[in-house]
Amino acid sequence: MEKRPDRITETFKGLSERGEKALVTFITAGDPDIASTKDLIFELERGGADIIELGIPFSDPMADGPTIQAASERALKKGTRLADVLGVVKEVREKSGIPIVLFGYYNPILSYGLEKYARDARRAGVDGTLIVDLPPEEAGELKKELDRRGIELIFLLTPTSDEARIRTVTDKASGFIYFVSVAGVTGARSSLSADIEKYIRKVRRFTTLPLGVGFGISTPEQARDVCRHADGVIVGSAIVNIIAANSGKTRLRKVRDFVSKLKKGTMARQGRETR
């Protein structure tokens, strides 16, 4: 299999050279329906998103708050399957090279077949996979399949992670580290922990991978604050809320407008943290 450009690494590198941070935007595939998902991805990109995180709907999203639970439920009601999610990525790839990370729970992927998933994800043009309920200890089999096809397996670190955990996770991680800003589920929050800076410093002692911070970030101001320390921010529920509250062209426009505001928060020129 020919070597494919490592789009996630290249993206972080390019941004860093321009003094910018990455804006990673999350939507649930199939919410409100699979046809809209492709259009929404293009709007996210037009708005300035650097990386797309695409949620694979699951019946039991234990790590998600009400917003993404509801999105997952809507997508499942429309019959969205993992195969449809891969189909959307393939369509997007005809026009765009934006890095795409699939984000979900293990059972739908296990059920699809690990080898088949890795093969089809590669064919569709998926760049990374993040599975919330698959810690490094249980990820060996999937990682082997993904490694063979050059797809990054992205892991989470959290405010509860001690040095032993950070070591275990950074040992296996590739692409970037998804740092969860709070102990909790996904969902927009009005305030973020003041300790994020401290955690990020701690994590950087163990890895040179870029560090994206997510969970709870919902405003351009929060994005800017977090980007003073992190290499990127991940915004999900705030976008999913806009998708749920609007329809048609208004929905697309409002999503793009919101993303472009967020992007400004990650573009403010700022010196990179010394490691």
Partner 1 sequence: MRNPDKKGHFGVYGGRYISETLMPAVIELENAYRKWRNDPSFREEFGYYLKEYVGRPTPLYYAERLTKKAAGARIYLKREDLCHTGAHKINNTIGQILLAKRMKKTRVIAETGAGQHGVATATVAAMFGLECEVYMGEDDIRRQSPNVFRMKLLGAKVTPVTSGSRTLKDAMNEALRDWVTNVYNTFYIIGTVAGPHPYPMMVRDFQSVIGSEAKRQIRELTGGFPDMLVACVGGGSNSIGLFHPFLDEPSVKMTGVEAGGLGIKTGRHAASISGGRPGVLHGNKTYLLQDRFGQIIDTHSISAGLDYPGVGPEHAYLHDTGRVDYRVITDAEALEGFKALTVSEGIIPALESSHAVAYAIKAARTMSKDSSIVVCLSGRGDKDLDTVSRAFDYKL
Contact residues for partner 1, defined by CB under 8 A: 58-63, 65, 69, 73, 76, 81-82, 106-112, 132-135, 137-138, 155-162, 165, 169, 180, 183-185
Taking the complex as a whole, how short is the minimal distance between the CB of residue 126 and partner 1, in angstroms? 17
**One of 53, 84, 225, 231 is an active-site residue; which one?**
53
Q: Which residues of 179-212 are buried (b: 16+ CB within 10 A; e: fewer)?
A: bbbbeebbbbbeebeeebeebbebbbebbebbbb
Contact yes or no for 47/93 (Cβ under 8 A):
no
Nearest by Cα to 82 from 111, 40, 52: 111
The secondary structure of residue 179, as a DSSP letter, is E
Q: How is residue 217 written in tokens?
A: 């970030």
Closest to partner 1 by CB, 5 vs 113, is 113
Is residue 127 part of the annotated active site? The answer reads: no
Residue whose pair of structure tokens reads 């329809």 in the numeric block: 247
Taking the complex as a whole, how short is the minimal distance between the CB of residue 255 and partner 1, in angstroms? 25
Taking the complex as a whole, how short is the minimal distance between the CB of residue 120 and partner 1, in angstroms? 14
- Cα three-residue angle 189-195-198, rounded to 5 degrees: 140
CA–CA gap between residue 266 and residue 50 (Å, rounded):
10
Closest to partner 1 by CB, 42 vs 112, is 112
Is residue 91 part of the annotated active site? The answer reads: no
Taking the complex as a whole, how short is the minimal distance between the CB of residue 109 and partner 1, in angstroms? 7
Nearest by Cα to 8 from 232, 208, 175: 175
**One of 45, 64, 145, 231 is an active-site residue; which one?**
64
Nearest by Cα to 100 from 130, 80, 77, 74: 130
H or E stretch covering 129? strand 128-131
Taking the complex as a whole, how short is the minimal distance between the CB of residue 210 and partner 1, in angstroms? 17
Complete DSSP assignment for 19-62: T--EEEEEEETTSS-HHHHHHHHHHHHHHT-SEEEEEPP-S--T
Closest to partner 1 by CB, 94 vs 137, is 137
Q: Hey, which residues are catalytic here?
A: 53, 64
